[in-house]
Amino acid sequence: MADDEIARLLREVEAELAKDAPVPAPQPARAANPGPEAKPVKQPRASMGERVRAAVPRGVVVGAVWGLAVGSVFSIVPVVDGLSGALAAFVTGFGVSVAGRIRRR
């Protein structure tokens, strides 16, 4: 008898869910030929100096955050010097961020 009640409840839930399900809006038909305005615009690649100039501020921030985080952790751990760890984290964070930004642009 319990199985019959469970089956009945499941049927009721499925009926309610099917009744409340949203009907998807019809998608507009795509044009066969998108035309000349759909072509991507190619922008000229920035020079190396411009890319470095744009990457340095972000690199400084990334390096400072990593230096602060690593310096804080290493200041708690008495075995490792906190300043050298912070400097290494800053240089690494700065270098990776700048290299990634230069390469991406």
Residue from 50, 81, 82, 86 nearest 67 by CA = 86
* 40 in any annotated domain: no
CB 56 within 8 Å of CB 99: no
State which amino acid sits at residue 103. Answer: R
Number of domains observed in the structure of the chain: 1
pLDDT in tens, 25-46: 666 666 556 566 666 667 777 7
54-63, 77-86, 88-97: least confident range? 77-86
SS3 string of 42-59?
Answer: CCCCCCHHHHHHHHHHHH
* 93 in any annotated domain: yes
Considering only residues 64 and 49, tell me which one the structure prediction assigns the higher pLDDT: 64
* 38 in any annotated domain: no
Domain membership of residue 80 as a residue range: 48-105
Q: How far apart are CA 72 and CA 57, in angstroms?
A: 23
Residue from 60, 65, 55, 67 nearest 98 by CA = 55
* 18 in any annotated domain: no
